[in-house]
Amino acid sequence: MERRCLDCEQPIIGRADKKFCDDACRSNHNNRLHSEETIYLRKVNSILKRNRKILETLNPDGKAKLKRKTLQDEGFDFGYITSTYTTKKGDQYRYCYEYGYLLLGNDEVLLVKR
């Protein structure tokens, strides 16, 4: 099987475990990988920060009950949290940093602060 450089995709000559033509290709590849990672991390971090900001804004007193839709209208993304806390009763609080929420029935949400 012909092996190709992970960076420039030219055929590789040499040791069987070689993945790159040379150090330049290796560092190029690693830089690109790093920047994709950085872009992804920035994207997730900014969603989490926005979620936290929304919870903070809607919950100035440390506890609030509101409609789930209110969070959605503000741009809250329910797919991103930083941690969870499950009570003995089995209720699962989901946190974005120190601000959290618990999904209630009737499309309501209880906002809390750690």
Tokens of 113: 């602060």
* Residue with smaller CB distance to Zn ion, 22 or 108: 22
Q: How far is CA 6 from CA 34, 36, 72, 113, in A?
A: 14, 15, 42, 47
Q: Which residue number places its CB atom closest to Zn ion?
A: 5
CB of 26 to Zn ion, least distance (A): 8
3-state secondary structure 24-44: HHHHHHHHHHHHHHHHHHHHH
At 43, which amino acid appears?
Answer: K
* Residue with smaller CB distance to Zn ion, 22 or 77: 22
* Residue with smaller CB distance to Zn ion, 19 or 113: 19
CB of 20 to Zn ion, least distance (A): 5
CB of 62 to Zn ion, least distance (A): 56
CB of 15 to Zn ion, least distance (A): 14
* Residue with smaller CB distance to Zn ion, 25 or 55: 25
DSSP characters for 35-79? HHHHHHHHHHHHHHHHHHHHHHHH-TTSEEEEEHHHHHHHT--TT
What residue ranges bind Zn ion (CB under 5 A)? 5, 7-8, 21, 25
